[in-house]
Amino acid sequence: MIFVMDIGNTNVKAAVFDGSRLVKRWRCATDTTMTSDQYGIIMIDLFRYHGLRMEDVEGIMISSVVPSINYTIEHMCRDYFHIEPRLLVPGMKTGLNIKYENPRELGSDRIANAVAVSALYGGPSIFIDFGTATTYGVVSDRREFLGGAIGPGLRMMNRALATGTAKLPSIELVLPEEIIGRTTVSNLQSGVLYGYIGSVEKIVSKMKREMGGSEIKVIATGGMAHLVKDNSNVIDVINPDLTLTGLRLIYEKNL
């Protein structure tokens, strides 16, 4: 079995694969104050609860956008899995031609997403990861990662309004039926949520024009993917395991 971890700014997503089959996935909080032993105990409990054996894990692949936690997680893997983990870094085999001007600037989670999209859906494709930040990527039909865009995530926008103003509250991220709100909360919900969906539509539309056609698949992953898909026709497919699958594919390419 292969164990993969995607360390994001808010959550650590993890999964166990048996070959190409996803056995189990879960998530826990990204907490830079936790020790390797604390993360190790979490993993012991999760594996035991789901009837899995840590001794059956043969390899570990990690993607991280939080460098300050990498040592802790790597140390946990050595102590509790007795395996030297592989961290997704520039220079690893991905099967993609990365057209970024400086590939070292490219987040490892975006590389994993691009690999999974190219393998599962082909190109040309656009993929969107609705995480703490909203990241867009474009894959060509020649297995090229062409670039993309990065914007704030929905929760980050909500938090910025609440903390950056004197009187505006934090809101529940529920789309109101009418865009013309009659309370401060409904005004905020309209502005934040409809504005966010509109920005996604605009970015995808412009990307499709730059790529020279409208028949381009759009694949989404991340917590807010369903909200956007349910209220727009911009997303074709939601794949919650996109990043984790990409990590498994990259691991296999680097055996």
Instruction: Given the residues 109, 230, 236, 241, select the one marked as catalytic.
Output: 109
230 part of the active site: no
Peptide bond into 124 cis (omega under 30): yes
The length of the chain is 255
Instruction: Compute CA distances 16 → 29, 69, 149, 179, whole Å.
Output: 18, 21, 30, 43
Q: Which residues contact 127 (CB under 8 A, 6 or more apart)?
A: 113, 114, 117, 136, 137, 138, 139, 218, 219, 220, 221, 242
How far is 225 from 99, CA to CA, in rounded Å? 26
Cβ–Cβ < 8 Å for 145, 139: yes
Cβ–Cβ < 8 Å for 117, 250: no
How far is 230 from 143, CA to CA, in rounded Å? 29
Q: Give the catalytic positions in this structure.
A: 109
